[in-house]
Amino acid sequence: MFPVQDDAPRRGIPLMTYLLIAINIVIFLIEISLPPEVLERVVYYFGVVPARYTNPFFESQELFPGLKYLAFLTCMFLHGGWIHLIGNMWTLWIFGDNVEDRLGSVRFLIFYLLCGISASLVHIYMHPSSTVPTIGASGAISGVLGAYYALFPLARIVVMIPIFIFPFFFELPAVLYLAWWFFLQVFSGSLSVVHGEIAGGVAWWAHAGGFVAGLLLHRIFCLRKRRLFYRDELTPWGVLPLVSEKTNR
């Protein structure tokens, strides 16, 4: 199922979401302008390689001291191809604006980066001996999905399923769509652990870890005095207390 749009309204312009998308696009354009051998080294040194943190031999091969820690941030802004980039940025475009609206731009950025770091840590824990660099914004974006799941469970998500050459569109509550998405990450991640390799070249456990981080961390960053109005905000999980109409941000 591919998400097309949601119906959750927003109050303002999601500047940080737009900025993150722009930064990712610019960095990707720089990536594809590099010679293949240079790009390979960039991905290796600025991506998260689990063995670098668990194997003393790989740690000793580090080109720059401290780079392995910086990689927790830089890996979020590298992508492996157009499909990888477009899929991540499209998902951030759909779900990021509403979460940023609830958190505020600066808090959203901190939240986003923490979710991305959490996703990388979970990936290292589940695949400690992997020498494959992990790159992409999907771990951080998974945290955005976790926050959206808690904050807008009854929002409607329009999804598309291609059957042969025909696209079929229908609506699902966000809580169902995102629960199904999370189940797929855990299921696929479990298979990758059983087989001892990252299935399909996708860091499934990073996605699952980012989602759980977003689910747990979003309440810390929510703006407590923001007036709520969306219909799902009276539901019993992941919501803030309803406050007066006169309360300002």
187 pLDDT more than 80 = yes
> Would you say residue 146 lies in a domain?
yes
Cα gap 95→111, rounded to integer Å: 14
Mean pLDDT of 12-27: 96
When divided into structural domains, the chain yields a total of 1
> Would you say residue 233 lies in a domain?
no
Higher-scoring residue by pLDDT: 141, 55: 141
Q: What is the pLDDT confidence band of residue 239, given thresholds at 50, 70 and 90?
A: very low
Output the pLDDT for position 180.
Answer: 95
Neighbours of 241 (CB within 10 A): 7
**CA quadruple 81, 75, 203, 155: dihedral positive or negative?**
negative
> Would you say residue 46 lies in a domain?
yes
For the chain, the average pLDDT equals 85
Structure tokens at 126: 């589940």
What is the value of pTM for the model shown? 0.86
> Would you say residue 238 lies in a domain?
no
CATH number at residue 151: 1.20.1540.10
Q: What is the pLDDT confidence band of residue 177, given thresholds at 50, 70 and 90?
A: very high
Q: Among 16-30, 148-162, 189-203, 223-237, which stretch is predicted with the lowest mean pLDDT?
A: 223-237
> Would you say residue 81 lies in a domain?
yes
Cα gap 187→192, rounded to integer Å: 9
> Would you say residue 187 lies in a domain?
yes
132-143 CB burial, b ≥16 within 10 A, e <16: bbbbbbbbbbbb
Q: What is the pLDDT confidence band of residue 166, given thresholds at 50, 70 and 90?
A: confident
Measured in whole angstroms, the distance separating CA 1 from the mean position of its chain's CA atoms is 17
64 pLDDT more than 90 = no
> Would you say residue 236 lies in a domain?
no
Q: Are strands 2-6 and 156-163 parallel, antiparallel or unpaired?
A: antiparallel
Counting beta carbons within 10 angstroms of the beta carbon of residue 218, is it exposed (0 to 12), middle (13 to 18) or buried (19 or more)? buried
Q: Among 16-20, 189-193, 215-219, which stretch is predicted with the lowest mean pLDDT?
A: 189-193
Q: Could you list the residue range(s) of the whole structural domain that residue 14 is in? A: 2-222
How far are the Cα atoms of 91, 127, 139 from residue 144, in angstroms, in the given order? 9, 23, 9
Half-sphere exposure of 215 (CA within 13 A, CB side): 16
